Structure 1
Amino acid sequence: MTLLDIRSLSVTASTQGATLPIIQDVSLSIARGEAVGLVGESGSGKSMTARSIMRLHGRNVTADGTIEFEGRDVLSMGVRELRSYRRSDVSMIFQDPRAAINPVRTIGAFLTEGLRGSFGLSKQEATRRAIAAMAAVGITRAEERMAQYPHEFSGGMLQRVMICSSLLANSRLLLADEPTTALDVTTQAEVVGLLDDLRRERGLGLLFITHDLDLAAGLCDRVFVMYAGRIVEARAAKNFESAAQHPYSRALFEARPSVDFRAARLPAIPGVPLSASESADACAFAPRCPYATDECRTSLPPLEEADAGDVRCIRVHEIPRAHLRGTAS
C-alpha cells in the first residue's frame, strides 16, 4: 500500500524580485515498510524534497505539484491538520541532531513532552513509554540517561534519541536527512542497521537521504539519484551499481575509493554542479559529461524508462556501458 505519493513536485523561492527554481518535476512514492534512497551531492535538492514532505517551507518558498500521504493532500492541509500530520504521521531525523534538541532540557523532557501534550498521558506513563522506547533503539541504562542532557550523549546516541522520538509519536513515515554523515563508520553501521530493523519490524516507510550511493544501495529497496533539482535516475537498489546508466550515477560509482583497485588519485567529476535555476532548459549535467552533445546543452531530457529503471538522458541507449570497477561491463 502506498504511504507517500509525490507527483511533479516543483519548489521555487522568491528573492529580490526574482523566482528561482530549487527542485523541479520530482516524482517518487514510498510504500509501507519500504526504504527509498535519495542520493546526490550537496545542493542537489535532497533536503528541500524532505522539507517539502513536511511542508517546512519559508514564506518566500512556493511548492507546486502533489504530495499525498495516505491519500491526503499535504500541500492543501489546514493548520490543525498539518500540526497533526507533523506530530503523529511523519517524523524527520536531521543531519545534526543537536540542532533539533533543546540543549538546556534533559533527554527525558524532550521525549515525554510530546507524549504528554499530544496524547494526554500522565508524566509517569510518558516516562515509562520513553524508557521502553530508548531500550528498543539500543540505549542502555535508559532510566538513568533520561536525566542527562544532550551534551552528555555522543552523536550516534543522539540520533538514536531522534529515532526514539519518532517511535513514540507512532510515525508511519520517517525522513532521515543524512543521519550518518557526522558519525564514524562503526556508529554509522549501527544507526543504519537500527533504521533497517525498525522499518521491517514496524512497517515504517523510510526516505533515506545521503550522498553515499553504496549506503543507499545497501539499505534501500529503490534508489533515486538527484542532480541540480531533478531526478536523473531511479531504479531498484539491488545491483544498482551494475545497472546504473546515467553518466552522473556511473561517475559517482567511479569516484569511490576501493581496496581492490588501488590508484594514486581517484577519478573526479570535472567542473562544478549547476544550480536548478541555471539548468532549467537543458541537461544540468551536460557541462561535466564526457558524452554530451550540442542537443544535450540546448534541450531538457525527459525521465524515460530504460532497462527496468528511469533515466534522464537522451543518449542513454547510445552510450556504451562503463567498465565500473568490480562489475561486469
Structure 2
Amino acid sequence: MFCRSDGVRGEAMEPPVASCRCHFFDGCSDLQPPPPTGGGEHWVDEVLRRRFLRLARWKEKRRRLDRSLPVTSLMEFNSEDEIQQLSLSTDFLVELSDGIFAKRESCSTFATFSHQAVNFILSLLKNILLSKREKELVEEIIDGLVTRLMKRMCTIPENAGTSDSGPVDCSDAQFNVQHLFRKLGNEEFIGQRIILAVSQKISNVSESLLLLDPFDDSFPDMHGNMFIMIQLIEFLISDYMKIWLCCEQFDKKIFEEWVRSILKARKDLEVVENINGLYVVYIERVVGRLAREVAPAAYQGKLDLDVFSKLLC
C-alpha cells in the first residue's frame, strides 16, 4: 500500500488506479451542449477525493525532492487548507499535461487522473468561491493554471522537440489539453478567464504571423495553434454561455472584457486574411454564435449595448 492518509510514510511508488476505461475524453471534438446535470455536478466521491489528494501530494513531494528542497518543507501541507489543495491540484494537472507531451501519447491512466484532477479542482473552487475567501489568491492560482496549460496547448517544434525522423506530431496531446480547458470551463470563474486568455493569444499569434517567414519551420504549427484556439472558444461558448449567464456570481466585468477581446481578435485576423482566409471564416462563426447566446444578457444590462452592436456588424 502506498501510504496512510496523512502521507507520513509509505513506499515510493505511485498508487494504483482502477483499470476500467475512463470516458472523460469521449466526444471531445463534438460541438454540442453538454447534457443537463443536477445540482451535484461538482460532487466528488469522498473515497476518490482522498485517493486523488494522496496521489497529488505524492507527486508534489517527488517534485520538491527533485528540486533539492529541504525535506522539512514536505511536512507543511495542511490537508484542511482548500486553497493549498487547489494550488496542489492545478500543479498536478499541469504535470499530467507535461507527461503526454514528453511521451507523445497519453498513458493508460491519463484520462482517469485528469478526470479526477478536473473534478477535484471544480469542486474545491466552488466551495472556496461560496465562502468568498482569498479571492485574489484564487484568481492568481487559476490564471497561472490557464497560462501554463495554454503554453502546452500552443506547442511549437522548439518546445515540443523532435525525433530522429523529424518533428514530432503533438496534435493529439494538444487536443487533450484543449479538452481539459473545455471541462474546466464548466465553472464560470475559470471558463471566462480561459476565453480572455485565448482571445488575447489569438491576437498575439496573428501579429507574429505577419512578421514570420512562411518557410520557417514553426509556421505550420502556428497555423494549427490558431485553429485549435478559435475552436476552443467556440466550444466554451456553445457548452456554457447560457449556464454562465445564469450564475449568481457571474462576473460582468470580465465578461465584457473578453467579448471586447474577441472583437479585437477578429479585427487582427482580418489583417492576416491574405495569408489564410479561413481564420476569418472561423472567427466570424464564433462571433455569430456569441451574439446569439448573449443577446438576452445584453438587453438585461450584463453587456454594454455598444459592444453587443459590434458583435452584429
Q: TM-score by structure 1 length?
A: 0.34
Q: TM-score by structure 2 length?
A: 0.36
Q: Give 1 or 2: higher helix fraction.
A: 2
Structure with greater contact order relative to length (CA < 8 Å, sep ≥ 6): 1
